[in-house]
Amino acid sequence: MTVSEKAVSVAPFGVIADHPRNCDMVIQSIPGCRLRSTLSANKPIVDSKTGETRIPLDQARHFSMLPTIPGMELHVNPSKLTYTVVDPLYDDEDMCDRILKVLNRQGGVKLEKVRGAEPRKGQLDVHRMKTLCREILHWKAEGAFKIAKGMFPSMEDIEELPGDFLLNPGSVVHNTQPQFEKDWDDWIAKLNSSGG
């Protein structure tokens, strides 16, 4: 199922996972989607108490010998309701060999091979695509995504996409909550009026 081109205000775009703390990112709007961030010993963070910029000691210690490892990419096409997850390590044997040598030199378990994740493609419904675009924008605000292709959409353009925002896109268990955010207030009012 695709959406009419003129009904979609968000052009296709791609992002690179680059979380400030080198951590994986779980994308709730795509079931089972976990992106490896760019891994680097030189990522400065801002101390929330002092406002000073610093590089955490544990980060410098864990990643100092490794080359900067590129983050996974997420490409979305809202008009076709499709997404693609790409790992730059998947076809980069040279980088994988460099990583393997460092890891095996550090001791512990000896690895035979390092390989990136296979590309993953999928299709979403209009609600999940709209919610995904907003989720990407929220991650961007935290400094966790950089643009890989195209440009970040505006919140106004995302709101114009067909569909409604999902209330809890990452839920994997049945619950009695409404499916959409727009129904939350009515649901709460009904709970309160029934003494729930």
Same domain, 106 and 127: yes
Residue 152 scores a pLDDT above 90: yes
* Residues of the domain holding 146: 5-162
Same domain, 51 and 146: yes
Same domain, 150 and 180: no
Type of residue at 30: I
Same domain, 157 and 170: no
Same domain, 148 and 171: no
Same domain, 99 and 178: no
Q: Which stretch of 4-13, 130-139, 155-164 has the lowest confidence by average pLDDT?
A: 4-13
Same domain, 102 and 175: no
* Counted domains in the chain: 2
Nearest to 146 by CA among 54, 56, 71, 47: 71
pLDDT in tens, 30-49: 999 999 999 887 776 666 67
* Global confidence as pTM: 0.85
Same domain, 127 and 182: no
DSSP string covering 49-60: TT--EE--HHHH
Same domain, 184 and 113: no
Same domain, 173 and 91: no
Query: How far is the CA of 134 from the CAs of 29, 33, 127, 128, 129, in angstroms?
Result: 10, 16, 11, 10, 9
| Paired residues of 35 in beta bridges | 25
Same domain, 180 and 125: no
Same domain, 115 and 131: yes
Q: Which residue has the higher pLDDT, 29 or 1?
A: 29
pLDDT in tens, 8-26: 789 999 999 999 888 899 9
In whole angstroms, what is the distance from residue 101 CA to residue 94 CA? 11
Residue 123 scores a pLDDT above 90: yes
pLDDT in tens, 84-118: 999 999 989 999 999 888 888 877 678 888 889 99
